[in-house]
Chain A
Amino acid sequence: MTLTRRNVMIMGAGAFVAFGLPMRATAAAEDRIAEFTGGAAMADSGITLTAPEIAENGNTVPIEVAAPGAVEILVLATGNPTPGVATFKFGPLAASQTASTRIRLAGTQDVVAIAKMSDGSFAKASSNVKVTIGGCGG
């Protein structure tokens, strides 16, 4: 196959179809973000999201979020059929605005965490997690 303009366009269309599903999921994630922030701008510092670069299994992926001074942290898996993962609300006796949990990821995707700070501002962190396909179904 030679790379003619027409072939390139066909390949482009194929790629669009192939990525149709994740794009829909991302739109759902954006809706959740808008609902959480009310459309406010998000700083890109002040929150840390720790997740593995490569997850051994998408069924059980350990993550940690930390945002000093946050009242609430929303976690989304943008590539899941439904993006919601968890919302952590920190009370007066939380020693730090940090939490860890284990989550399900349907495939390689961005995990996003957004903190709502006590002054009403927002901060966002994102981490790409590669989910491997097992060798043996065993």
Chain B
Amino acid sequence: MAQDVTPRVKVPKSAAAGEAVAIKTLISHPMESGQRKDKEGNIIPRSIINRFTCEFNGQSVVDVTMEPAISTNPYIEFAATVPEAGEFKFTWYDDDGSVYEDIKPIALK
């Protein structure tokens, strides 16, 4: 199972109404691909984060399906429109059923 999974998100503290903001996300995760073998030659089972979503006040910004070719400690950067003050909600879904969340509020300038 993945251990010490820590999500990190970079969002500006405030934005003008309708402004586009850059968002960076990084989560510590081994992203075991299912292609590697251990010392005894057995396949190490796949264990990855398979989906990442970002919503603002319940509306979708991005919904990403992730496959084993995403690097260890997955990094995703994108841009969101901020129509009003509110909350960004970030969610990562692990193969093992775990769900990791982070929430970032943003104020209007």
Where the two chains meet, the residues of A that have a C-beta atom closer than 8 Å to any C-beta of B are: 59-61, 77, 80-82, 84-96, 98-105
Q: How many CB-defined contacts (below 8 Å) exist between A and B?
A: 97
Q: Does B28 contact A (CB under 8 A)?
A: no
Chain B residues whose CB sits within 8 angstroms of the CB of A88 once the complex forms:
62-64, 78
Total count of chain B residues near the partner, CB < 8 A: 29
Judge whether B64 and A94 touch: CB under 8 Å: no
If over half of B's interface residues share one DSSP class (helix, strand or loop), that class is named, otherwise mixed; here it is strand
As a 0/1 sequence over residues 55 to 95 of chain B, the CB contacts with chain A under 8 angstroms (1 = contact) are 11001111111111111101111111101000000000000
Where the two chains meet, the residues of B that have a C-beta atom closer than 8 Å to any C-beta of A are: 20-21, 33, 35, 55-56, 59-72, 74-81, 83
Point out which of B56, B61, B67 has the most chain A C-beta atoms below 10 A from its C-beta. B67
Question: Of A59, A85, A99, A103, which one neighbours B62 at CB under 8 angstroms?
Answer: A99
Docked Cα-Cα span, A103 to B71, in Å, equals 5
Chain A residues whose CB sits within 8 angstroms of the CB of B21 once the complex forms:
95
